[in-house]
Amino acid sequence: MFQLIYRKYGRGIRWKDDLLAGLTVALALVPEAVAFAFVAGVDPLVGLYAAFLVGLITATIGGRPGMISGATGAMAVAMTAVVTLYGLQYLLAAVILAGVIQILTGIFKLGRFIRILPHPVMLGFVNGLAIVIGLAQFGQFKTNHRVVYEKTDGHGGGSFQVAGDWFSWGSSELWIMIGMLVATMLIIQLLPKLTRAVPAPLVAIVIGTLAVSLTPLTTTTVGDVLEKQRVLQAERELKRKQFAKIEPDLVVREVEARGQALAAVELTRGEIEAGLGRRIPEGLKAGLPEIRVPEIDWKDSEALKMVLFLAVTLASIGLIESLMTLSLIDELTETRGRTPRECVGQGVGNVVTGLFGGMGGCAMIGQSMININSGGRGRLSGISAACFLFGFILFAPKLIEVIPIASLVGVMFMVVVATFEWSSLRLFGKVPLADIVVIVLVSGVTVLMHNLALGVIVGIAASALVYAWEHAKGLRLHLRKSSDRKRTYEIDGPLFFGSIQEFKELFTPAEDPEDVYLSFANSKVCDHSAIEAIHSMSEKYRRLGKRLHLHDLAADCSKLLSKAGDLVEGQYFGKVGGGTS
């Protein structure tokens, strides 16, 4: 079942490629998990536990070997409100419930509907995700990070956020960052032309780390980001609590000024710890996670509603992102994953990580692309990535902390290049304009809203509308036979909600003879709107003392009309079926 080593493709057992690819992915997972934890408003270890547990479980029992799962930005963004209002325990409860929903989706095989996604939606999703991944890396080109008060409405209301300043042009920090980034990208691009014995991203990360450790070069490392973000997160939490105590007594015009004044107060690490009543953790080192049922107030109906809403949101985002990534990797590797099994795997992963204090997660297209490009194809690559990650946290956190952020940004930029469907830029003028619009729309919504699920849903809706519009214009009525007492028509094209107006305009009952026969040999009755349109037309003929007969109906159409009963059978309405009345 696990297929840890055996692979059905390639020559021989390629366990070495899977292990090396897993090591490369593990190095890239750390800063991503830390960053997404801060987005959600939780401690980095909550994100790291999620990356380990979700990654391990989905790689073991999921339906797509070679796909990497962990804490993701799309899900992290949705978690922020619950964490801010109710705290971590309610988030963990929502993660567990989301996992249950995903398991049920897999059991009832509802995830297979992702297979019918239009290709333009897939292209828009991939391009939008590549742009989001790329834009997210530019946050590493900032310095002087601090807590600020940002106004969110016209009445002075706002929130405390972490902000920073761009590196000044010409500064040594900027040029060292750019130099290491470019060097990383060149190594990843050129090394495979010399040898594929080891993954190029891993070599690039090792060389970048040695360059920083053995030379006077000074640049930001994973440890620097972790330390800085932990302190800033704690400071933001403290100032939120302090402001919540004074805000009810402020008049509207004072809110913004007092918020900005509080944000400007400089606090030492000791003052922050004293204000929160706890120590700020240092470094990445952690112990084994402990299983614990989330502690929530079951009598708080508002909180429970928020948990339910978040659970449905997380389950939807997780499944859409995971199954879209699955489809993409299927296409890249020319293999086929198992959608229901992947849904169950993702669900089990989220249930377990919620019980062990992790923030939940889903498939990660960026890390999956790193894995695939590094030669990882089997389950061993995902399992080893999760185990390497946890091993680093437990036994060698210092090795992770000294990795330069510039090298990891370079790896992610190469992921962007590999993920973006450059061929889609050549589609202009070669495919219908509507498909181009769908691609741009999905990409735009994904980038602007930072919501992959919303982008896909909008794309599906747009594609459905385009389909309905195009097929609504294709309805045709042909005259086959005509005499003084009867006339035979044949209708071409589907009869559904989008084409019923066209259907009504095709007939002129006043000019037709006593009996009119309508053949559906080249048409289908698709929905209730079509049934109602047929009934309406038959009533027009009945009022004129004429009869409308339907024939050549397909078996499913005949069954649909028969079930409709009185909705379509008027006094002079033709008998539904293969004959006439």
Does position 578 have pLDDT exceeding 60, yes or no?
Answer: no
CA distance 392 to 399: 7
Supply the DSSP string of 401-463, one letter for each residue.
HTSBHHHHHHHHHHHHHHHS-GGGGG-TTTS-HHHHHHHHHHHHHHHHH--HHHHHHHHHHHH
Q: Are 47 and 34 in contact (CB under 8 A)?
A: yes
For the chain, the straight-line distance linking the first and the last C-alpha, in angstroms and rounded, comes to 60
Closest CA to 92 of 344, 236, 292: 292
- Range from 6-20, 190-204, 324-338, 540-554 carrying the lowest mean pLDDT: 6-20
Does position 446 have pLDDT exceeding 90, yes or no?
Answer: no
Among the ranges 175-189, 370-384, 456-470, which has the highest mean pLDDT value?
175-189
Q: Are 70 and 390 in contact (CB under 8 A)?
A: no
Identify the pLDDT of residue 488. 92
Identify the pLDDT of residue 115. 64
Identify the pLDDT of residue 324. 82
pLDDT of 236-291, one tens digit each? 889 989 998 998 888 888 888 899 999 999 999 999 999 999 998 888 777 788 89
Identify the pLDDT of residue 99. 97
119-137 and 365-373 helices, crossing angle to 10° = 90
Mean pLDDT of the chain: 85
Identify the pLDDT of residue 566. 57
* Largest pairwise CA distance in the chain: 100
Three-state SS at 493: coil
Does position 581 have pLDDT exceeding 70, yes or no?
Answer: no
CA distance 261 to 176: 35
Closest CA to 414 of 186, 196, 72: 186
Percent of the chain with pLDDT over 90: 35
CA distance 509 to 498: 22
Identify the pLDDT of residue 146. 92
Closest CA to 455 of 138, 134, 123: 123
CATH topology of domain 473-567: Transcription Regulator spoIIAA (3.30.750)
pLDDT of 425-443, one tens digit each? 888 888 889 999 999 999 9
Domain ranges, ordered by start, for the chain: 15-419, 473-567
Does position 575 have pLDDT exceeding 50, yes or no?
Answer: no
Instruction: Please state the rounded mean pLDDT for residues 475-496.
Output: 89
Instruction: Please state the rounded mean pLDDT for residues 172-191.
Output: 93
Q: How confident is the model at residue 51 (pLDDT cuts 50, 70, 90)?
A: very high
Name every residue whose Cβ is closer than 8 Å to that of residue 306 and which is 6 or more positions away in sequence.
Answer: 81, 82, 85, 86, 90
Q: How confident is the model at residue 570 (pLDDT cuts 50, 70, 90)?
A: very low
Does position 31 have pLDDT exceeding 80, yes or no?
Answer: no
Does position 53 have pLDDT exceeding 50, yes or no?
Answer: yes
Q: How confident is the model at residue 9 (pLDDT cuts 50, 70, 90)?
A: very low
pLDDT of 335-360, one tens digit each? 888 999 999 999 999 999 999 999 99
Q: Where are the beta strands (DSSP E) in 454-514?
A: 476-482, 486-492
pLDDT of 129-166, one tens digit each? 788 878 888 888 999 999 999 877 666 567 888 889 99
